[in-house]
Amino acid sequence: MTAATTTPEAAVGVLPRADGSAKYSHAGYTVTASVNGPIEAQRRDEHAYEAHVDVTVRPAAGVGATRERHLESILQSSLSQIILVKNFPRSVIQIVLQIEDSPENDYVNTKLVQASLNFAIMPALIQTAVLALLSAAVPMRATATATAVATVRQGGATKTIVDPSPREVETAQSVHVFAFTSHDELLLAESEGDFTVKEWDDSYETAKAICCRPEPTKEGIAMVLDDETTAGPDMRHFLRLAMETKVASDLYWK
Partner 1 sequence: METERLIVLPGETIDPSLIPSHQKLPLRLGPGLRHIPPSDIVPTVAGQLITNPARNSMWIEYNSQRYIPSTSDLILATVTRATPDAYLCTLSPYTPPATLPTLSFEGATKKTRPILTPGALVYARVTLANRHMDPELECVSAATGKAEGLGPLAGPGCVFDVSLGFARRLLMARSREEGGVGVLEMLGGEEGAAGGGGLAFETAVGRNGRVWVGSESARTVVVVGRALQETDRAGLGIEGQRKLVKRLVREVR
The 10 Å Cβ neighbour count of residue 202 is: 18
Distances (CA, A) of 10 to 64, 65, 114, 245: 24, 27, 25, 11
Q: Say which DSSP state 108 is in.
A: S
| Shortest Cβ 78–partner 1 spacing (Å) | 15
CB closer to partner 1, 136 vs 162: 136
| Shortest Cβ 226–partner 1 spacing (Å) | 22
CB closer to partner 1, 111 vs 218: 218
Distances (CA, A) of 100 to 60, 113, 124: 5, 11, 11
Tell me the backbone φ, ψ of residue 149, rounded to 5 degrees: -135, 135
| Shortest Cβ 157–partner 1 spacing (Å) | 39
Binding site for partner 1 (CB under 8 A): 16, 18-20, 36-40, 82, 84, 87-91, 134, 136-143, 181-183, 239-240, 243-244, 246-254
CA–CA distance, 177 with 199 (Å, rounded to integer):
13
CB closer to partner 1, 120 vs 134: 134
| Shortest Cβ 252–partner 1 spacing (Å) | 5
CB closer to partner 1, 71 vs 140: 140
